[in-house]
Amino acid sequence: MFSSVVSGAVHGISSYLMQVEVDVSSGLPGFNMVGFMSGEVREAGERVRVALKNMGYVIPASKITINLSPADIKKENVIVDLPVAIGILTAMGEIREESLSGVMILGELGLDGEVKRINGTLPIVIKAREAGFSTVILPKENAREGAVIDGIRIIGVESLQEAVAYLDAPPDQRDNLISPTRVDIEELFRRSEYEETSLDFADINGQAAVKRAVEIAAAGFHHILIVGPPGAGKSMVAKRMPTILPPLSLKESLEVSTIYSVAGMMGENDALITKRPFMSPHHLITENALVGGGSIPRPGVISLSHRGVLFLDEMPEFPRSKLDLLRQPIEDRKVNIVRSRGKFTYPADFQLVGALNPCPCGYYPDRNRCKCTPNEIRRYLGHISGPILDRIDICVEAPRVDISDLTEKTKRVNESSASIRKRVLAARKLQEERFKGTEIRFNSEMTPTDIKKFCRLGIQEESFLENAFCSMELSARAYHKILRVARTIADIDQSQDIKKIHLMEAVGYRMTDGKYWHQNEE
C-alpha cells in the first residue's frame, strides 16, 4: 500500500514543504530511503523501526520504500522521524488516509516513541499556513512557538501514540482529545514590557557625553564607536543600549524568532523573542560563527543580532579580516552565503556598537601613562579599516571617570533608561512621518539625494558647515554623515529645522575619529 504525509524542512532561513511518500509492498524484505539525503537523515529509518516495535506495532516482512521530495534539494539536518512513522502506519492500514488531509506532521522520535523538539518550527508553520494546511502536529515542546501563527491549529504531542490517537479520532472529537495550543501574543509583549532588567542608564555616573551620543545613535539608527581608556565605562554604556531602543513590533519579533528558531536558540516552551537581541562576541570567534555558514549553514552572530545590537568590545583585538566581513552586511542588511549546495541568505539588520582602547596599553594620548610607540598605535587602530570607519556615523570619546562621579559625596540622580527612551521614541516617530511612502526608515539610511530633500539648511547653518568642511578637510561622505546625525539631533529636540547648534554637535562626532586615526578623508 502507498501513503503520503506532508512535512516541512528549513533551507537556510526559509522553509519548504516536504512530501514523505511511503510504499509497503511484497518482495524481498527491506527498508530503503531515497530522495537526495545525507547519512544522518537515513538514520531516521532505523529509529522509526525501533520506535514502532517498542510501541507495539508489528512491521510486516515487506519491502518498505520511503521517498522524500522534492528531490532537487539535499536533505541535510532534516528531521523526518514522526512523518515517516505515520506514513508507514498509514500504508499498513493502521491510520486512515483521509485522516491526513490538511495535516502537516513534524517531529523527531526517540527509541521509546517519545516525540522530541526540533529546530526551525516557526518558519515551517508559516509555510504550512501559506500552503493552506489547517493543522500541524508537532512536538509539545515546540507547540507554543508554532501557536504564535494565526489561522492554523497547532497540536503538540509527546509521543507517537498520542499522534496516532489524534489522527484516529473523528475530526469533531479531536480537540477534545488534544486541545490546540494557543498563545496570547499581546500578553507576551505586555509581560516583556514590564519585565524587570538589572541594566539601566541610571546606574552610570558621569560620561554624560557618551550617554548623549548613544541616545542619538539609538534615535537615528546610527552605528557608533566609543573610544576611551580601560575602566571608563564603555561596556557599561553599550550593554544598556537595548534599554533605550523602541520595543520590537510583531513583524520584527517574528523575523528575530525565525532566526533563533532555525539556529536552535529558542528557549524551552518559548513562543516569541520579544526583546531586542544584544550580541557581544569574543574576538576569537570564528568567521563562520560571526557571519554564518559551516558545512550545514546556520545563522551567525550578526544575524542573531538582527533588529538589535551587535556590540564589539575591544574592537581592534578582532582580526581585520573578520571586521571587514561586516562591510557587506552593514551595507545590504543581509548575509549571502554561497556553497556548493546552494545560496543561503540570512537577515542582518543590526546596529553596530564598537568599544575600543585608543592604543594597546589603553592610555593614549596621555603620554604620562602611555608608553606605546606611534607605530604600535597606528598598527593597533589599523585593525579597523577605512571602509568600516566609513560606515560608522558617530565616534565619541569616553574620558577617564573622575573620582567625584564615583563617591557618595556628590549627590546626583542620573537619568533613567525609561526617560531617555521617551525621547528616542519621539524622534523615531518624526522619522516615520517624514519618510512615509519611501523605503527609508531612519535618518542613517538617507542617500545624498534624500539629504538634499530632508536636510535643508538656513544661511547661517550653511556658512558654518562650509567653514567646518574646509577647515577639517572633510570628504563628501563625512559631510553627508554630519547632516544625517544633525537631522537626528534636531529630531530629538523636536525641531523641524536643523540649527547651528545641531550641526556643531554633529561635527564634534567627526573630530574624535580624526584625532585617533589621523585620517584626512578624501
How close are the terminal C-alpha atoms of the chain, in Å?
74
pLDDT at 366: 87
pLDDT tens figures, 270-299? 889 999 999 999 999 999 999 988 777 789
pLDDT tens figures, 42-62? 889 899 999 999 999 988 888
pLDDT tens figures, 412-428? 788 999 999 999 999 99
Q: What is the dihedral of CA 493, 494, 496, 500, to 10 degrees?
A: -10
**Cα–Cα distance measured from residue 134 to residue 151, given in angstroms and rounded to the nearest whole number:** 8
Cell numbers for 276: 531586542
Single-letter amino acid, residue 270: D
Q: Percent of the chain, pLDDT > 70? A: 96
Is residue 372 within 8 Å of 488, Cβ to Cβ? no
pTM: 0.91
Q: If you average pLDDT over every residue of the chain, what do you get?
A: 91
pLDDT band at residue 196, thresholds of 50, 70 and 90? low
3-state helix, strand, coil in the chain (%, to 5): 45, 15, 40
Examine the pLDDT at 36 and tell me if it is beyond 50.
Answer: yes
Is residue 281 within 8 Å of 289, Cβ to Cβ? yes
pLDDT band at residue 406, thresholds of 50, 70 and 90? low
Is residue 219 within 8 Å of 426, Cβ to Cβ? no
**Cα–Cα distance measured from residue 189 to residue 59, given in angstroms and rounded to the nearest whole number:** 48
Please state the separation of Cα 460 from the chain's center in Å. Answer: 43
Provide the residue count of the chain.
522
Examine the pLDDT at 403 and tell me if it is beyond 70.
Answer: no
pLDDT at 519: 44
Cell numbers for 190: 505586555
Find the helix or strand (DSSP H, E) in which 383 lies.
none
**Cα–Cα distance measured from residue 435 to residue 209, given in angstroms and rounded to the nearest whole number:** 29
Residue 27 to residues 63, 112, 241, 414, 435: CA-CA distances in angstroms? 6, 28, 66, 80, 68
**Cα–Cα distance measured from residue 214 to residue 236, given in angstroms and rounded to the nearest whole number:** 12
Using DSSP's 3-state secondary structure scheme, residue 68 falls into: strand
Rg from Cα positions in the chain? 28
